[in-house]
A = this chain, B = another copy of it.
Amino acid sequence: MLEVSTSMPKTKKGLHTFNKICMSAEKLFHEKTYHAATINDIVNDANLGVGTFYIYFDSKRSLYRHLVLSYYHDIRKSIAEKTKDCKTRLECEKIGLRTFLDYVIKKPHAYTIIWQSLLVDRELFVDYYTSFAERYKKQLDESIEKGEVNPEIDTIALAYALMGISNFVGLETIFFHTDVLDEKRIDQIVDSVIIMLEKGIGN
C-alpha cells in the first residue's frame, strides 16, 4: 500500500541534493501542477543537471509518490502528537482540526499536491484516503465503546464526513479566502465546526 520505493542518498552531500530536488518539486508541482512542471523546470530551480535527478528518483512519478507519502506521515504524526493527551472525542476533533489547518497554512503546497493524486496516480489517491479513513474509523469505534459517540452513527460514514469537513474548510482557509488569515479567524472556524459536532447545526 503506502510504501516508499526510493533508494535514499548515502552521503550528506547526496542528502542535501535530494532535499533540494524535493523542495523545488514541491514548489513547482504546487505552482504549475504536476503535468506542467517538467523535470527540467525542477532541476533548473534546484541548480542541478537533468541526470542528477535520475540518481535519486526512478521517474517523475516516483518523486511525486515520495512527496505525497511524506505529507501523509507528517500530517498523521502531527495530529497524533497534538491529540495525545486529549480527554474527550470532541477535544480530539478540535485539536485535530486545528492541527490540520495549521499544517496546511504552513505548507499549502502539500494540500494541492495531495489533491492532484487523482490525476497523477489513482492507486495512491485511493490508498491515501482509505488509509486515513480506516485509522479514523478505529478511533471513532473506540469512542463508541467509551460512550462518547452515538452508536447509531455509521463510523465509516462519519470518518469520511469528518475528513471532508477538514479538507473543505482547509480549502476555503488557504485558497479562497482573500483576506489576511489571523488567529481569530481560524479560531472562529474551528469553534463553528465544534459547535456543530457537539450540538448539531440548530439552536
Give, as a whole number of angstroms, the nearest-CB distance from A153 to chain B.
5
Among A115, A156, A161, residue most surrounded by chain B Cβ atoms (within 10 Å): A161
16 pairs, CB–CB < 8 Å, chain A vs chain B: A35-B119, A90-B201, A93-B201, A112-B118, A119-B119, A149-B202, A152-B195, A153-B192, A153-B195, A160-B168, A160-B172, A161-B164, A164-B164, A164-B171, A196-B196, A196-B197
Is A130 among interface residues, defined by CB-CB distance under 8 A? yes
Mask: chain A, 163-189; 1 = CB below 8 Å from B; 0 = not: 111111101100110000000000011
Q: Out of B119, B133, B154, name the residue touching A33 (CB < 8 Å).
A: B119
Say whether A157 contacts B193, CB under 8 Å.
Answer: yes
Say whether A197 contacts B200, CB under 8 Å.
Answer: yes
A contact set with B: CB distance below 8 Å: 33-35, 89-90, 93, 112, 115-116, 118-119, 122, 126, 129-130, 133, 147-150, 152-154, 156-158, 160-161, 163-169, 171-172, 175-176, 188-189, 191-193, 195-203
Number of copies: 2
- In the complex, which residues of chain B have a beta carbon less than 8 angstroms from the beta carbon of A175? 126
Say whether A164 contacts B169, CB under 8 Å.
Answer: yes
Give, as a whole number of angstroms, the nearest-CB distance from A176 to chain B.
5
A4 to B201, CA, bound (A): 36
Say whether B34 contacts A201, CB under 8 Å.
Answer: no
- In the complex, which residues of chain B have a beta carbon less than 8 angstroms from the beta carbon of A160? 168-169, 171-172
A35 to B148, CA, bound (A): 46
Give, as a whole number of angstroms, the nearest-CB distance from A156 to chain B.
7
Q: When A and B form their complex, which 7 residue pairs have the shortest distance between CB atoms, in order from nearest?
A: A164-B168, A164-B164, A157-B192, A154-B192, A160-B172, A157-B189, A160-B168
